[in-house]
A and B are shown apart, each in its own frame.
Chain A
């Protein structure tokens, strides 16, 4: 059944056309179409009939509240909203009370239609954000979004009052990306709060928030956020094109969108970064990247993403650059350890014993004495145990989690070694690898490395160093062909952009980072004055008046 399901996207297409006419102006409101379509219902000037229709549509859902009342004791009207999404207090205390107590003349005017509806509503409705609506499907939309809709007897016009307010998590510290220094605010599940968090950091009209609605049943709001002076228009076009072809029943997490718009769906590598930190999103926007915020998820997607971004933590930019550069270099070492250490150990101890210094070799051989498994099996078993322990620790409630770690560390670690099942060296190798994969700043990359580690392990166990080399070559060939929205995944290392090297292996000081990433921020390459290096006066007894500029 191909065609009718494209309906939720039609509005977006129209907006895109409009946007291209007016030079990429901000997109429309995230207006919703109910699904399945309600076109066969018509709005009639009879309150009772309309309520009947709505009753049929909502099928007595227990959370839909309908209430009839009289405006000024004269005119019949009804209000309909969803309990839990609309602000009950506002509706009861302000809206209903005011409407019921309007002067009777106004009520009579409504009944006798002596004055136009809009005029009367201007006088009697005590709320700021109201919008007139003229179809059943719009009524349903507004109700589903948490608006309270007023219906009047004798009119084919209803009034949606913005009473959206529901229980949500307050702004909290980002759990997965905590930082010693830096903002403690993290995104929440509410899209508006999230856009506000970004807007508060970028008080400029250049910040554009384009809304669109994805998911036939879920009708999830998705916001495309960018700085229109920096973001590449062809990139935006491409993102819109890829979002447009999403036709799915529901979007529950940013991962759904990530999986549906990435460049190479077969790749194990994450091609779109996600973050909980508004400051990280803003930093990305300032580089000319584009962010996607999705309602009901505290993660923002950053597009395009290159490999190096997975080596950068937002804290790198808040600490002194010496330390940050040091940590950056350590991360590259850690990346290699997490990927290769067990396979190198297996390769050396199985095939290439001659490569070890003699004393180390004797020590290792003594340890492996009596271990019943070949090194490959031993490594695979221990790695699997480690993965299982981690998985158990993640899924279990916190109280039980401790028990798991005790079982893991003491029973398996200690007892398995003393029982002679595993060699202590292998336990050390696996533990080091595990810690290293935790030290990678972005979880998405860490799990990729975890996965590739098993492949490398098997290759090393089968073919020794040759296996490791072909594994590495295969990964590199794959990475060189990978792109994220047209940007090469390994840039700026290859293709080589010398200006971007200031933020790859080391983090250069802020006053030396004059330019945006070559490929991404080319529309306005200079981000700051080139003479920002602090030049304090040399001697303390200098006249402070001269020291200024």
Chain B
């Protein structure tokens, strides 16, 4: 076994929540639906529950193996390995994307004069340490931090709403003013980022203490986070209005900077930095972990740990080249990512499940 650690289903629940909170609460593109974006997110969450069923069905079918192990068995050695490598590529693309995303947030928002590489390098090193410490550490970090993340997000939401004359509820009107089409167009980007990315948790099922019960925490996490994301989105639209919320790079940050209760509770940026750092760190560690573990399994290594440091270095130097500027990233996230990532979040698990069902292969 390449990983001796086990995580409880509760830890998986926390980990998925942290993963979904990760970067999405910061960027939260409003998209084409404008003030109706929350409906898109609601429907995207429903889709997220659907794919959660798909992923957990695979997890239930193969409770002792990661997809990297059973894919060659299900699809045949050639095709299975090819798809595995493709899947690894998505992990390897997403990890530096997260790194750069996060570091750029720091540079743009609070530490303007610090070179980007400082943030990228240190974060990659920390994530490498966590990944090297094993899956147990990831589960426990999530268990410790996720409650705080959710708590802080909720508190910030409440404080924004309590700030006098800040939320303008008429921003939501008119509901479905331009018909249903923009809402439908907004579903796919909202679904792939962040819900579709939970496909990486396929690799976590075999390390659960009770893999037979993986469905409940997975679905519950997706449902809860859907509502949390919608609350953040509603807050952003109410405070900034749909146009400004779409224009701002970090609508959540802009909204939170407007909190002002009695001239004392103001400038809560520190709290949202807390969410950034810890949420993104967890998300990055999950993707990083999947990449190193998957690589070791595809290559047939005994242990994934020797790969951690080289991967961290690769990520560090790959990260600054992932995109040129932030708007390119936003475009990529909302226009390209849903289709580019489609084989990862849907085709790969769906083909695996379908073929395994037809050929009646079980783990």
Contacts and interface: CB of A to CB of B under 8 A. Distances in A.
A binds B: yes
Interface of A: 351-352, 354-357, 359, 463-466, 469-470, 473-474, 476-477, 480-481, 488, 490, 493-496
Contacts of B137: 477, 480-481
Contact of B110 (A352, A470, A474): A352
Q: Which 4 A-B pairs have the closest CB atoms?
A: A480-B140, A469-B277, A494-B143, A494-B140
B269 interface: yes
A469 B129 contact: no
| Interface of B: prevailing SS | helix
Interface of B: 8, 10-11, 106, 110-111, 114, 118-119, 122-123, 126, 129-130, 133-134, 136-137, 139-141, 143-145, 263-264, 266-267, 269-270, 273-274, 277-278, 281
A356 B133 CA distance: 37
A493 B146 CA distance: 12
A467 to B, nearest CB: 9
A452 B269 CA distance: 25
A464 B122 CA distance: 14
B143 A477 contact: no
A165 B230 CA distance: 76
B267 A480 contact: no
Contact of B143 (A352, A357, A359, A495): A495
Contacts of A496: 8, 10-11, 143
A473 B133 contact: no
B126 to A, nearest CB: 6
B144 A476 contact: yes
A352 B129 CA distance: 28
B277 A466 contact: yes
25 contacts: A352-B269, A352-B270, A355-B269, A357-B263, A357-B266, A463-B111, A463-B118, A466-B119, A466-B273, A466-B277, A469-B277, A470-B122, A470-B277, A473-B278, A473-B281, A476-B144, A476-B145, A480-B133, A481-B133, A481-B134, A488-B140, A494-B140, A494-B143, A495-B11, A496-B10
Contact of A473 (B10, B126, B263): B126
Contacts of B118: 463
Contacts of A466: 106, 111, 114, 119, 122, 273, 277
A335 B130 CA distance: 24
A473 B281 CA distance: 9
A494 B266 CA distance: 33
Contacts of A356: 267
B118, B119, B140 — most chain A CB neighbours (10 Å): B140
Contacts of B136: 480-481
Contacts of A469: 273-274, 277-278
Given A354-B267, A494-B140, A494-B143, A473 B277 contact: yes
A477 B267 contact: no
Given A477-B133, A480-B133, A480-B136, A465 B10 contact: no
A480 B119 contact: no
A490 B144 contact: yes
Nearest to B131: A477
Contacts of B274: 469
A476 B141 contact: yes
Given A354-B267, A355-B269, A474 B119 contact: no
